Amino acid sequence: HLATSLPLPSERDHLRPRIDLIVFMIDIKSKYSLKIVEASLAYVDASFFLGKVCFLVTGVGRVNACSIETSAVCKLGEAYCSPVLFCELELEGIRASTAQRLLRMLQICAGHIPGVSALSFISLMRNSDDD
Amino acid sequence: NADPQKTAFLLRKAWTLYSVTPLYRFHRARLRDYARLLSAFIAAEKQKGLAVEVGVELDIKVAVSSLADLRGSEQDQAAVLVQLSLRSQASSRNSEDKLVWLGWFCSVYGDDLSENVPEDFTCLPLFLTHGAESYTSMVGSWFQKTFDCCFRRLAISPLNLSWMVAMWAGCKLDRAASAVELVFSVPHLSQPLDISYAIHPEDAKALWDTVQKTPGEITQEEVDVFMDCLYSHFHRHFKIHLSAAKLVKVSTAVASAHCDGIVKILHSQYLPGVLMLLTELAISQIQ
């Protein structure tokens, strides 16, 4: 399900399935996208930040078109205890591997992988970041 | 500090920017030799028929000189200027050689690079050119072959352009300044659309003065606040989010810069400051 911002329209609340993972997409070429994400975060219930949120930064292939500082996004990830993934959607290979990564995360968050919870997965990812 | 008369020729020209890796075994005592060698190289390239401009007879005179005053700290190498002129055809005393191309290498507070470089290397990370691209490529090829260095066009990201406009809009100028202008390019449209946003220079400076906390120091947060104010002002009037568009060019009374790496410096007082910023960009592109 795609949305341009949060909160989601309340009219369809009763039709909506359970949300297992929220991916906030930030386009490194658009300051506006960061602002929208920052504003939308306020509408997310705190329980999601236990491994069911991740930030996806797109457009990183074009270093010269940056309108956002990478450190600002990393700080956001740290503040919300959620991983930050970087990708370039214009490259098919990276697009495919990013999609696979997100799908894997979603499987874990939806509880389809026995023995791995969203929370344990997140702490695994954070430990590798610190290295 | 540089004598304004000597550096006057640098002002009000559109310079195309390149980053240059350190030059190997560049000797300042041999500048005249280098001029001769470069001249011979260009003549040979013309013979080969490369980069010929139709209708122009080419007898190119090359001059390579040092600009002792153009540097930041004592650690910086003095700037090196390369001038290409068309030798005058007429023999009369009054005819002067016509300058067709100018290029200069410089380093203003480029200590980050020069500190870490071995003995035989000369660090002049910023290269600025004015004139036909064909000459630029010939001069660049010769330098690359002779000093084993590498040239790359220096692109300027929207992030860096916003630093520039914040810094330059805040500069104190004695006489009436021209408007502060930002040009945005709107993505994802079938027809390209450019939005030009002009601000009265006094308003821009007043805004920057309320944002900047420590004179002489600028932080990313301050630049963000400055730009956010400009964006929200625009949005209030036109309902367009400029923050979603790409900032491609900024213009102030001090200098103007385009994301393709083209800069024009308009005010001699701020020449060192602008060059210092450009040197920093060049160094970060090299590293």
User: What pLDDT does residue A127 have?
Assistant: 65
Whether B82 and B66 map to the same domain: the answer is: yes
* Interchain pair A64, B156: CB under 8 A: yes
Token pair for A96: 């495919």
Q: Answer whether A74 touches B (CB < 8 Å).
A: no
User: Residues B190-203: what's their mean pLDDT?
Assistant: 92
Contact B220 A65 (CB under 8 A): no
Does a structural domain hold residue B91?
A: yes
pLDDT band at B2 (very low <50, low <70, confident <90, very high): low
Task: Please list every residue in chain A whose beta carbon sits closer than 8 Å to the beta carbon of residue B184.
Answer: none
**Rounded to an integer, what distance in angstroms lies between the CA atom of residue A119 and that of residue A51?**
5
Residue B169 and residue B244 in one domain: yes
CA distances for B194 relative to A57, B182, B240, angstroms:
25, 10, 13
Q: Measured between beta carbons, which residues in chain B are less than 8 angstroms from residue A31?
A: 227, 231, 243-244
A74 close to A84: Cβ distance less than 8 angstroms: yes
For residues A34 and A72, is the Cβ–Cβ distance under 8 A?
A: yes
The two structure tokens encoding residue A100: 């696979």
- ∠B207-B209-B211 over CA atoms, to 5°? 75
Other CB atoms closer than 10 Å to residue A21's CB: what's the count?
18
Averaged pLDDT, B38-57: 72
Residues of B in contact with A68 (CB under 8 A): 159
Q: Do B187 and A32 touch (CB under 8 A)?
A: no
What pLDDT digit, counting tens, does each position of B241-278 carry? 999 999 999 999 999 999 999 999 998 889 999 999 99
Beta-strand relationship, B79-86 and B60-67 = antiparallel
Nearest alpha-carbon partner for A25 in A12, A11, A6, A43: A6
Pairing of strands B79-86, B98-106: antiparallel
Note whether residue B80 is domain-resident. yes
- Does a structural domain hold residue B184? yes
Higher pLDDT, B55 or B137: B137
* Interchain proximity A31–B227, CB inside 8 Å: yes
Checking if the pLDDT of B93 tops 70, the result is no
Residue B218 contacts A where some CB pair is shorter than 8 Å: no
Mean pLDDT of A54-73: 90
Touching check for A33 and chain B: CB below 8 Å?
yes
CB contacts under 8 A, B 244-263 vs A, are: 244-247, 259
Are B24 and B141 contained in the same domain?
A: yes
Q: Please give the pLDDT value at position B217.
A: 86
| B167, B51: one domain | no
Mean pLDDT of B175-202: 90
On chain B, the residues whose CB falls within 8 A of the CB of A33 are 244
Per-residue tokens: B198: 């002009």
Distance from C-alpha of B162 to C-alpha of B252, rounded to nearest angstrom? 12
Segment B61-71, tens digit of pLDDT: 899 999 888 88
User: At B108, which helix (H) or strand (E)?
Assistant: none
Question: Is residue B99 within 8 Å of B130, Cβ to Cβ?
Answer: no
CATH number of domain containing A29: 3.40.50.300
Give CA B75 to chain center in angstroms.
21
Give a yes or no: residue B2 inside a domain: no
On whether the CB atoms of residues A72 and A101 are closer than 8 A, the answer is: no
Range of the structural domain that residue B110 is part of = 8-153
Helices (H), B67-197: 111-114, 133-147, 158-169
If one counts the domains in chain A, the total is 1
Report B:95-154 residues touching A (Cβ under 8 A). Answer: none
Does residue B173 lie within any of the structural domains? yes
Q: Which helix (H) or strand (E) holds A24?
A: strand A22-27
CA distance A42 to chain B (A): 20
Average pLDDT in the B127-152 region? 95
Specify which residues B83 forms β-bridges with: B63, B102
B173 and B55, same structural domain? Answer: no
User: Do B33 and B123 belong to one domain?
Assistant: yes
* pLDDT tens, residue by residue, A6-56: 888 888 788 888 899 999 999 999 999 999 999 999 999 998 998 899 999
* Helices B220-238 and B158-169, axial angle in degrees (round to 10): 90
How far apart are the CA of B258 and the nearest CA of chain A, in angstroms? 12
Contact B159 A69 (CB under 8 A): yes
Tell me: do B96 and B188 sit in the same domain.
Answer: no
Q: Mark which of B107, B127, B153 sits at the end of a domain.
A: B153
> What is the rounded average pLDDT for all residues in chain B?
89
Given a contact cutoff of 8 angstroms between Cβ atoms, the answer to whether A66 and B280 are in contact is: no
Question: What distance in Å separates the CA atoms of residue B125 and residue B79, rounded to the nearest whole number?
Answer: 10
How many structural domains does chain B have?
Answer: 2
| Best to test chain A binding among B152, B159, B247 (most A CBs inside 10 Å) | B159
Q: Please check the confidence at residue A85 and state whether its pLDDT lies above 80.
A: yes
In this complex, is the C-beta atom of A63 within 8 Å of any C-beta atom belonging to chain B? yes
Clarify whether residues B51 and B148 are in a common domain.
yes
Given B231, B241, B246, which is nearest A65 (Cβ)? B246
Q: Say how far apart CA B60 and CA B11 lie, in whole Å.
A: 24
Report yes or no on A68 lying in a domain: yes
Indicate if B168 and B255 belong to the same structural domain. Answer: yes
Chain B residue with CA closest to A70: the answer is B159
- CB contacts < 8 A, A to B, total 37
A55 lies in some domain: yes
pLDDT of residue B68: 84
Which residue, chain included where needed, has tokens 């550096």?
A: B7
Residue A100 lies in a domain: yes
Residues 6+ apart with CB under 8 A from A61: A88, A90, A91, A94
State which of B108, B133, B153 marks the end of a domain: B153
Asked if residue A67 belongs to a domain, the reply is yes
Q: Is the pLDDT of residue A118 over 50?
A: yes
**Both B123 and B168 in a single domain?**
no
Q: Which domain covers residue A36, as residue numbers? A: 18-127
| ipTM for the predicted complex | 0.82
Residue B57 has pLDDT above 70, yes or no: no
Of A31, A63, A65, the CB nearest to B243: A31
Task: Report the candidate in B189, B169, B186, B177 with the shortest Cα–Cα distance to residue B248.
Answer: B186
Question: Is the same domain home to B14 and B100?
Answer: yes
Residue B268 domain flag? no
Rounded to whole angstroms, the Cα distance separating A80 from A23 reads: 13
pLDDT category, B54, cuts 50, 70, 90?
Answer: low
Which parts of chain B are beta strand (E)? 14-20, 23-24, 60-67, 79-86, 98-106, 121-122, 126-131, 151-153, 180-186, 193-199, 246-251, 255-258, 262-265
